[in-house]
Amino acid sequence: MEDEDLNQQEHDGTPSQMSPLEAEDRGYTLFRILDREFTIKVSKHRWAVVLVFSCYSMCNAFQWIQYAAINNIFMYFYGVSSFAIDWLSMCYMLAYIPLLLPVAWLLEKFGLRTIALAGSALNCLGAWVKLGSLQPHLFPVTVLGQVVCSVAQVFILGMPSRIASVWFGDDEVSTACSIAVLGNQLGIALGFLVPAVSVPNIDNPDELAYYISIMFYVTAVFKEKPKHPPSRAQCLSYALASTDASYLSSIIQLFKNLNFVLLVITYGLNAGAFYALCTLLNRMVIFHYVEEGVIVGRIGLTIVLAGMLGAVISGIWLDRTKTYKQTSLVLYIMTLVGMAGYTGTLNLGHLWIVYITAGIIGFSITGYLTLGFEFAVELTYLESEVVSSSGLLNVSAQVFGIIFTISQGQIIDNYGTMPGNIFLCVFLTLGAVLTAFIKADLRRQRILRMYL
C-alpha cells in the first residue's frame, strides 16, 4: 500500500511492527484513525526549513517598504508625485488579490519547495531589474522591478501557517508560525532603516543615483515535507481532508462560516491599518519634523522590532494556552490604544512619546497578524491553509491596505496627519467590536480531542 510506504522506517522494521515502548524510544508515536495508521515524528530539519523561508520573506518585505521609507527623496529623484511612490508599495497589495488562487493551485500541484524557489527567483529578478532604473527618467523600470517583486510576494506571504502545520508538532505550531512571520517583519525593519541611513537627502541627481544603487544592491535547503507527519493534527488532516473539493467550493464553504467571515474582516482592518501606517510613515513624520528624515527609519524600526517581540510572545502563548479569542481581543485593544496615543502625540514635538506609542502599535499589531493565521486554521480546520488562513486573510488585508493607504494619504494632504490617523482609529475600533463577536469555535482542538 502507498500509505504504508510513506511510513516505512529507515532502519530495520517499520514503526507499526514495533511495540509502543520501542517506537517511543526511537522518537516515533503511532496514531491510528479510520483504519489507517500513521507514524508521527517531528523532523530535526524543521527549524532549518522555517529559517530559510524567513530569509526569503525578509528579502521580499525589504523591497516592499524601501521606497515608502524615503518617499520624499524618490519623489525628487524621479520627478513624480508622492501618490506615484505610494503605488510602489500598494502594487504589492494589488498583485496579491488576483494571484492568490493561481498560486494556491500551484502550491497544491507542485509543493512548498517549488513555490518557495519560484518566489525567491522572482524576488531576485525584481531586485536586478531595479538596478537598471538609476536614472531620473527610468521610473517605469523601477515600477517594473517592483511589480516583479510584488508577484514574488504572492508565493511567499501565505506560507507561514502552511509550513508550521506541515513541519511542526502540536505544541510548536504557533511558535513556528510566529518565527516564519518574523522574517517578513525583519525585512520591513531593514526596509525602514537601510534607505534612511544609506540614501541622504541631497540635490545632486548623480550622487543620489549612487546612493540609491547601494540600497538596491543590498537585495540583489528547502524540502517539500518531512517523511513522517509531525503531529496528530496533521495526521487527521491527511486522513479526513476531502481530495475532490475544488477551491471554489472550499471558498463558498468558508464564507458560510460566520466566525471566519468576522475574522477575515477584523484581520483585514488591522493589517490594512498596518500597511497604511508603514506606507505613509515618511509623509506623516516629515509633515511635523521637516529636517529629520532619519527619524522615519528609527520609528519604523521601533514598530517592527517591537512587533517581532510581540509575534514571538504571541506564538509561545498560543501554544501553551490556545486562548485565540481572548488574546486577539486584547491585542486589538492594545493596537487601538497605541494608535490613539500615536495620533495625539505625533505633533507635540516629543519624539520619545512617539517611539513609545509606535512600539505599542508594533507589538500588538504584529502579534495579532501571527495570531490571525492560527486562529483561522482553528476556525476552518481541514480546509486548505493557503486558501483559508493565509489566503483569504491576506486578500482582506491587501484590499483594506489599498483603501486605507489611498484614503489616509488624501486626508493627510488635505487636512493634516491627525484627521488621517483618526480615520484609522475609527476602523480599528470597529475591528475590536467585531472581534468581540467571534466565537472561539476551535475545530482543530475539538477534533483532536475526539480522536485522542
pLDDT at 427: 95
pLDDT, position 339: 93
DSSP-assigned beta bridge partners for residue 39? 30
- Provide the pLDDT confidence category of residue 347 given band limits of 50, 70 and 90: confident
With cut-offs at 50, 70 and 90, classify the pLDDT of residue 240: very low
Pick from 118-127, 175-184, 239-248: least confident: 239-248
- Burial grade of 296 (CB within 10 A; 0-12, 13-18, 19 or more): buried
Q: Which three cell numbers mark 342?
A: 500615536
Return d(Cα 152, Cα 223) in angstroms, integer.
19
The answer to whether residues 379 and 387 touch, using CB atoms and an 8 Å cutoff, is no
- At residue 300 the predicted structure's pLDDT band, cuts being 50, 70 and 90, is confident
Q: Could you tell me the CA-to-CA distances from 48 to 53, 169, 254, 267 in Å, in that order?
A: 9, 15, 33, 29
What mean pLDDT value characterizes the chain?
77
pTM (two decimals): 0.73
pLDDT of residue 42: 64
Give the cell for residue 240.
479526513
Torsion angles phi and psi, residue 377, rounded to 5: -60, -40
Q: Are the C-beta atoms of residues 286 and 412 closer than 8 Å to each other?
A: no
Residue 292 has pLDDT above 90, yes or no: no
Mean pLDDT of all residues in 345-353: 82
- Can you tell me the distance from the alpha carbon of 254 to that of 246, in angstroms, rounded to the nearest whole number? 12
Instruction: Report the SS3 class of residue 29.
Output: strand
**Residue the block writes with cell 501618490:** 83
Scanning the structure block, which residue is given the C-alpha cell 510581540? 310
CA distance linking residue 440 with residue 432, whole number of Å: 15
79-93, 190-204, 278-292: segment of lowest average pLDDT: 190-204
Does residue 15 carry a pLDDT above 80? no
Count Cβ atoms below 10 Å from residue 211 Cβ, excluding itself: 16
Give a three-class secondary structure readout of 169-210: CCCCHHHHHHHHHHHHHHHHHHHHHHHHHHCCCCCCHHHHHH
Mean pLDDT of 58-63: 84
207-217 pLDDT, tens digit per residue, is 667 666 665 55
Strands 36-40 and 29-33: antiparallel
Mean pLDDT: which of 238-247, 333-342, 373-382, 389-398 is highest?
A: 333-342
pLDDT at residue 114 is higher than 70: yes
More confident residue, 270 or 323: 270
Looking at residue 331, its amino acid is: L
Q: Which grid coordinates are listed for 57?
A: 520573506
pLDDT number for residue 8: 41
Confidence at residue 267, expressed as pLDDT on a 0 to 100 scale: 93
Average pLDDT over residues 353-370: 88
389 versus 301: the higher-pLDDT residue is 301
Gap between the terminal Cα atoms of the chain = 25
Residue-level pLDDT at 10: 41
Alpha-carbon torsion angle 143, 420, 202, 131, nearest 10: -20
Instruction: Please tell me the least confidently modeled range out of 104-108, 181-185, 208-212, 336-340.
Output: 208-212
Q: What is the CA radius of gyration of the chain?
A: 23
- The Cα 384–Cα 391 span in angstroms is 9
